[in-house]
Chains A and B, each alone.
Chain A
Amino acid sequence: MRFREVFRFAFAGLKANKLRSALTTLGILIGVGAVILLVAVGKGSGAQVQANIDKLGTNLLEVSRQAGGFGARASRNTGTQSTVSALTLADAQALVDPVNAPDVLDEAPVVTASPTATYQGATHPIAQLVGTYPAYLTATNWQIAEGSSITDDDVSQARKVIVIGQTVATDLFGTADPVGQQVMINSVPYSVEGVLQAKGSSGLQDADDFAIAPLTTVQDSLSGFGSLNQIVVQAKSADATTAAQDEITSILTARHHLAATASPDFRVLNQQSLLATSSSTTHTFTVLLGAVAAISLLVGGIGITNIMLVTVTERTREIGIRKALGAPRAAILGQFLIEAVMLSLIGGALGVAAGLIGTRFTVAGVKPVIVPASIALAFAVSALIGLFFGSFPANRAAKLHPIQALRHE
């Protein structure tokens, strides 16, 4: 007796009950399809969060003043030197230090203001105007869409130049080209050097309602020469951010003459740690989705057991005939086991196809990302499910006594 023949018997058995076979297959199809699709959705939402954080810059560290009792906000526009915890330009320059801070690539001191911009009667309050160095753009992942960036010369000579975000550009200039035009920022004329590429809104904030000007210019005309609002630091690589964070902390602790035990008067925000938190959240999310899908696969497997038990009962007489004609136990076992495995494999293959088709659509605002391992796993599990859930009914068939089986009506 050959495997091929047993396989043929199993196939004939499935064909004899097409509708039933199709419905049983559907259970596995849904299970496998769900595993692939839901894991892809989980992965997709993870990728989306990752992309959002990438937009901010992965190597980015932000040093800001610890918002203590007072001073922090008040000094923002007035530039009044606060008695506590000022971040100075010297602090910023001290961070680029190949000896004490080998993981820091560059820094950009930041002062911010929220001035009003006017152009030919059109007025737009800029949510955030940043006065900084050109390095700021690289660290925070801003790209120039048109025109050019601010330069080191602009900073050293305090030129009245500005690079504006998409929202500002649209509000002031409409469809016209803003590059080379003069805008009034709080009544001071600035020349528009470039337009930033859109980043889109993240949550409630419009990231493109934004403008960048040289640090010196903003200090000159808007914020005054006081404390910095922020120092943006670019680490050498995404992996170096934690080391860079430690280096920044120790340099600033020393410069601010703080005791090791005292709570620091500054705060270092690490984008990388934000990323780690969010990716662990999406990982949990993916695992949960996968678990739900796995349960549906399990239910599909139980469907196979159920239908195979019915089949064995229905075909008891056939089993008796085969046994009387000399079919050994193994042949009967094999025949029904192969039927079960074929049901689950066909379901698995169709499920993979359904899952792959499903991932081509956007699900709940998330573009699913296919995880190849989930396809292999779901398919392998479906084969195992056939073996596992088919073995009980097949074993029952193989154990039937030929005399009783032949008498069965």
Chain B
Amino acid sequence: MLKCNKQGQTGETISWVIATLVIIGILIIFLYISSTMAVAKKISIGDLITGLSHNSLVLTEKTAIAHQLAGNKNKEVIDKIILDYDKANK
């Protein structure tokens, strides 16, 4: 019986097996990335507003207008209370 040389075929098969493993590995990595991105689908006000204060811009403006009307009376005390409250509720 005649037999062909099988060494080349074996090498090719191993390449295919490695390729399959690489494909599965890449899929798993992408699956992990998509699941991580899915968790990050929570949109909070902090993502929309940049700046030190967590307090929304509307309320910050209201506070600033009230400070102006009151001639900045007790401004430091009030701003500290607001900042502390913001930190506590962040």
* A and B physically associate: no
B residues apposed to A, CB below 8 Å: none
A residues apposed to B, CB below 8 Å: none
